[in-house]
Amino acid sequence: MSTNNCTYSPPSNVICLPRTNQLEALLTIIRDKDTNRGDFIFYSDRIIRLLVEEGCEFNGVSFKGKICGVSIMRAGEAMEHGLRDCCRSVRIGKILIQRDEETAQPKLYYAKLPPGIENRYVLLLDPMLATGGSAIKAIEVLISYGVKEDKILFLNLIAAPEGIQAVISKFSKLKIITAFIDQGLNEKKYIIPGLGDFGKSD
Ligand code: URA
């Protein structure tokens, strides 16, 4: 059974935050195009903290040095603050993936990952899971650094069913923790209803 307002029933390794009134209210605020930048950051941070707490509770992931964060630049960096609010001195790495102009495929441009990442749970951060193209590339990078697939928790605010399917069909052992699963993607690969461009929230 889906916990969402859509017909899509996510696979069992997708954890969707319970739809409380509080979460509904937070979503309404961040979806509203009249919400100013300060409020957008404040309220999206509240959702991000809920995601991080869910991720840290999952499978007994403890706060004691066994986790790290990795943000998918640039939008994922907006989630670092919420992660630090919950896990004070957590190490956070970064991965930059962009579309290769020649091949149109996602390409790794930069990766700086915490030492010992292969022994940690990784909270992978990207607020919007749309097609899953950069997420898949980022997960491949983590695995190439020795991270175990079942120790990756991919945290998003809003996910599209297409992106969930793309990621889970390649990596069936990781977990996706999301606040909302929306209807799908439009022709520009934006999430519908989504919240537009996450990076342009002013
Ligand atoms: N990134 C965004 O900022 N918005 C989307 O809808 C999809 C990806």
pLDDT 10s digits, 85-118: 988 889 999 999 998 888 888 999 999 999 999 9
**Average pLDDT of span 136-149:** 97
Q: How many angstroms from the chain centroid is the CA of residue 196?
A: 16
Residue 201 lies in a domain: no
The Cα–Cα gap between 114 and 117 comes to 6
Q: Specify the pLDDT at position 192.
A: 95
Residue 9 lies in a domain: no
The Cα–Cα gap between 183 and 61 comes to 31
Q: Specify the pLDDT at position 105.
A: 86
HSE-CB at 190 with a 13 A cutoff on CA atoms is 9
Residue 65 lies in a domain: yes
Q: Are 117 and 68 in contact (CB under 8 A)?
A: yes
**Average pLDDT of span 182-187:** 94
Q: For residue range 57-91, what is the model confidence (pLDDT) as tens digits?
A: 766 665 555 899 999 998 999 999 999 998 888 99
Does the bond joining 74 to the residue before it have cis omega, within 30 degrees of 0?
Answer: yes
- Indicate if the pLDDT at residue 128 is higher than 90: yes
Residue 202 lies in a domain: no
Residue 198 lies in a domain: no
ipTM confidence: 0.91
Q: How many CB atoms lie within 10 A of CB 174?
A: 24
- Kind plus residue range of the DSSP H or E element containing 93: strand 92-99
CB of 30 within 6 A of ligand 1: the answer is no
Residue 8 lies in a domain: no
**What does pTM read for this prediction?**
0.92
- Indicate if the pLDDT at residue 201 is higher than 60: no
Closest atom of ligand 1 relative to the 189 alpha carbon: 7
Q: How many domains does the chain contain in total?
A: 1
CB of 16 within 6 A of ligand 1: the answer is no
Residue 145 lies in a domain: yes
The CATH number for 88's domain is 3.40.50.2020
CB of 145 within 6 A of ligand 1: the answer is no
For the four alpha carbons of 122, 200, 132 and 183, in that order, the dihedral sign comes to positive
The closest of 17, 115, 103, 110 to 68, measured between CA atoms, is: 115
Closest atom of ligand 1 relative to the 198 alpha carbon: 3
CB of 198 within 6 A of ligand 1: the answer is yes
Structural domain containing residue 168:
14-192
